[in-house]
Amino acid sequence: MKWHKIVLILGIGILLSACSNADWKKADKDKLMKRCMEEGGTKSYCKCYLSNAMKAYPNAKDVEELDFEAAVELSINCE
């Protein structure tokens, strides 16, 4: 189960690195949610991760530079 979350977070990181918009537009949110769900995340987990990412990084472009530890921190308290 632990590896599943690691793979999910890495997948989300790849998705976020592909985003070029400076702010969280609907398209940014939709892409993150879609990718998260495709990686096996539940809808509630993906919404939580997205919410945490948006709070921590007001500009979507800032998330492109996340290291692994920062990505893991975004998933804390997400089930």
Lookup: tokens for 28: 């940014």
pLDDT at 19: 47
pLDDT at 21: 40
List alpha helices for the chain, DSSP H.
2-18, 26-38, 43-56, 68-74
Conformational region of residue 6, where left means phi above 0, alpha means psi within -120 to 50, and beta covers everything else: alpha
Distance, CA of 69 to CA of 34 (rounded, Å): 22
Q: How confident is the model at residue 51 (pLDDT cuts 50, 70, 90)?
A: very high
What average pLDDT does this structure show over 53-58? 91
pLDDT tens readout for residues 19-32: 444 589 999 898 77
3-state secondary structure of 20: coil
pLDDT tens readout for residues 58-67: 988 787 677 8
Average pLDDT, the chain: 80
Which range is most confident: 7-11, 21-25, 35-39, 42-46? 42-46
